[in-house]
Structure 1
Amino acid sequence: MSIAPVAERRLRLLHVEDSDLDHQLILAQLQRAGLEFECRRVDSLADIERALLEPWDAIISDYNLPGFSGLVVLDRLKQERRLVPFVLVSGEIGEDTAVAAMRTGASDYLLKNNLARLAPALLHAIESAEAQRAREEADRELLKSKQQLHELAGHLQTSVEMERAAIAREIHDDVGGSLTAIKFDLAWMARHSQDPVILQRVQSALETVSSAIEASQRIMHNLRPAILEQGLVAAVQWMAARFERRTGITTTVRTGSEPVQLPAGVPLVAYRTAQEALTNVSKHAGASRVDIELSVDGGVLTLEVKDNGQGLAPGALGKARSFGIRGLHERAATVGGWVDLSSGPRGTSLILSVPLRAVIAADEDDEPVFEPEHDPSAWGEA
């Protein structure tokens, strides 16, 4: 619903003034300007306190009042954090006082012997206040929307991680169990057959089943890394060793001198981040070396994965569909951390930072979330 322009609305004005004559002059000036309004005059602190409980479009205040000044009213508005336009009108006000009032939050100030500017100043103050309220409301809605999107992303990542665990269990219990049973049967056939052709086929089948068992174990580890039960350091070292064997890329791991007991959720976030970084290195970097550094210093866990590859293409980080980068940031945010990603001609560096105190202070009932539904191998791909 659109709001009528200020000049066309009936305004509610509060006039802080001890002189009825000056009050009438203000009313006449506003009427002469063609404004529609209702105006209440108050001249005591008690009346002002009661009046401030009501909504007002603007407040017009004298400076010199019996026992107090108009700035007392302005201070009261600031204490209550109320965004109400405040126009100071006085017959005696020095330039220093006027400047101080403006710095304190007054919308404008005028002299009583020059009220021709009152109506325009009042309308401008009201419009500015409404624009500021609209901006603040928009900021609140934007913050609320971002929070909701963050919570949704967290929920989706949690759901994906739980689904990964369920699939890993099914592979272990059903597929792994069946393949092992087949392997036993083939081994029995090999022991009880003398036919060379059959033995050759059995041996070939055994090799195929062994490869399938190994593949299922690799898939299970990728879906739900059981190695994390041995600690993050052991998990990262194991991952780096497997990565080096698989790709031939020299991979080194440097860790702190003493292992640290990490809060729940942090190890898996760090593990997934390193896993995704290595996947990108193998697919896109063309690197010959990867250095992984894991440390805890000053209560902050830091994981850095750095390669000596070709780096990302210019503008790749800003692409609208760089979902891999967004997934990294969302995953880190679930434990109060953040990701810094930089790239140049000498390679790419990814740094995950997680303040551990913030994780410990978080609600333990809020399960951390980890894996977004996207191909993690495309940081800068469209």
Structure 2
Amino acid sequence: MASNNGTVAILLVEDSELDADLATMHLRRSGLQFTIKRVEEREAFTTELMRGGYDLILSDFSLPRFDGMAALSLARELAPNAPFIFVSGVLGEEIAIESLKQGATDYVLKPRLERLGPAVQRALRESEAQNQRRRAEERTRLLVAELSHRVKNTLMTVISIAQQTMRRSDSLKTFETAFLGRMHALAGAHSLLLRANWGDMDLEELLSDALKAFRRGDGRHVILQGEPVRLPPQHALTVNLIIHELATNAAKYGALASDGGRIFVDWAIEQRDGDDHLRLTWREQDGPPVKEPLKRGFGSTLIQRSVGFELGGTVSLDFPETGVVCVLQFPLTPEQRDIALQA
């Protein structure tokens, strides 16, 4: 472990200037790149520990107004990840064993300071290995918590879709077709996010995949156009479901129900109060004449609720005779979404 510039920051507890110079000389001979700060008393040592930024602590065992075990106790409390090495003139076997039990990394006797460099190098390597393990454990903990959260959200989405689809289905076959279509859309979005390691998702790739099952022939009847945009994972899942609903409706009643029908999906980033918002427009052309339905089905309800509650945005869904037009507008980051939901 070392600072960003590769230099090890050392805190030395030593009352003898001569011994401090000897320790510094042996460290330089070992090839270590370091800076060193020497303190003699408890107050100065505590101040430096609280200031932080030290990669290694070296301490004499016997000091006029301070002792090594007290220094070790303070270091374990205020700088628990920094290796601690005793550098002492005399250190009995029992004391040496006890110091290691209390958390010291190693000890070096002053008559054998040629061991100091190798001891420091070994302590730094072990410390870095421990830090890497801690970081890996923390990443694992965060990933498990995030996975649990996402699985819970996904299951709640599945339950809601199942309930709402069942209420609006007049037969088991109708339910099966609608429900499985929505599940396939959700699974497709999850597969894309998995390939992206559940990071931000490219919007054009997401749309292309969501509309893949609705393309015919050369696919020129589906036109996607917009600037590069990446969506957070939860946004990507919601947008995928919305596009699936629009495409399913278009395949039944709209532009995708006729050979000459076309779908245009375009998007752009707009600034609102200094924040990035996405404006995404779905527009159908050259399909059968469109009439506004007398009542809204689950697809329309899902779109309205998803944009409002999941994305923190707004949606307009219009039915001109020339084809359905749907415009989504929502903040691009989850933080902006949460602010919008609280407003």
Question: What TM-score do the two structures reach when normalised by structure 1?
Answer: 0.43
Question: What TM-score do the two structures reach when normalised by structure 2?
Answer: 0.47
- Which structure is higher in RCO with an 8 Å CA cutoff and minimum separation 6? 1
Structure whose alpha-carbon radius of gyration is higher: 1
